[in-house]
Amino acid sequence: MRVVTWNLWWRFGPWEARQKAILAVLRELRPDVVGLQEVWECGGENMAAWLADELGLHWTWAPSEAPERWQRRIGGASDVNVGNAVLSRWPVVESEAMRLPAPDDLDDGRLALYARLAAPGHHVPFFTTHLTSATHASAVRCQQVTALAEFVAKRRDGTAFPPVITGDFNAWPDSDEIRLLGGYKTAPPVPRQVFLDAWEAADPAAPSATWDAANPYIAAGFSPSVRIDYVFVGPPGRGGLGHVRKVERAGHGPREGIWPSDHAAVVADLASA
């Protein structure tokens, strides 16, 4: 099962040209499941719906309940919403969104989105999320991770396939919030519930930055290159079900002169049988 997570950078930059580049990358990857963040909806059009139609996938999405701060960043366009989405090769038989906790000064309606996927042999409990991006807000992200872990715990049962959590966590791999979600380097928010960072199955020497100073959309900010986007998987089921076989980046360079997003995607291949 090929899983992709990708922050699509909403309607920032040359978004119409970027949209075509995003589709080109996903078409080449041929994913089974995609967790998307910063997906736009406007005037009855939805980027997730368009991508799903072009790729022949099922889809579900959840909009922000507080998009005003996003809208101000593109000139106050009040008809454009932002949210998370899941694209799936298999039917989405159940979905639900949860607004992540945040103090008023940081609350822009970020979400965790759950989708149960009717994959052959096993339902897959799949989640995608987008944590607050303020550099100083590790404590807030820890609260959000705790809420996410509790959200997952209530929706993971009824299948042998381990939960899959994807998203833009806006946090470095050794940060408190990432260790907290893992639950094997510190006490987990939900007792006995741990998640493995899929990148740990990758070549340690391979470039892993999903927030990359080589990307012209972020170069002006002089940020360090770092991995802030993740695929997490629960411990493998019987026979290695859900075991991570391969991890790599995608969308980390230009397509016909256009960088698809300010983030690179993470691609993880999981054992599905």
Q: 195: closest CA among 207, 177, 183? A: 183
Contacts of 271 (CB under 8 A, 6+ apart): 1, 236, 240, 241, 242, 243, 245
Q: 241 near 273, Cβ under 8 Å?
A: yes
What tens digit of pLDDT does each residue of 239-271 get? 999 999 999 999 999 999 999 999 999 999 999
Give the mean pLDDT of 189-214. Answer: 91
What tens digit of pLDDT does each residue of 54-78 get? 999 999 999 998 888 888 888 777 7
The pLDDT, as a whole number, for residue 71 is 86
The pLDDT, as a whole number, for residue 185 is 93
The pLDDT, as a whole number, for residue 59 is 98
Q: How far is CA 65 from CA 12, 73, 107, 109, 111, in A?
A: 19, 16, 10, 5, 9
Q: Round the CA-based radius of gyration of the chain to a whole number and report it.
A: 17
For 234, the token pair is 């629960």
> CA 3 to CA 70: how far, in whole Å?
27
The pLDDT, as a whole number, for residue 250 is 97
Domain-by-domain residue ranges, the chain?
2-270
Greatest C-alpha distance within the chain = 53
The pTM is what?
0.97
The CATH code belonging to domain 2-270 is 3.60.10.10
From the centroid of its chain, how far is CA 29?
16
> CA 84 to CA 169: how far, in whole Å?
13
> CA 190 to CA 106: how far, in whole Å?
25
The pLDDT, as a whole number, for residue 220 is 79
What tens digit of pLDDT does each residue of 100-138 get? 999 999 999 999 999 999 999 999 999 999 999 999 999
Give me the phi and psi of 138, to 5 degrees please. -60, -40
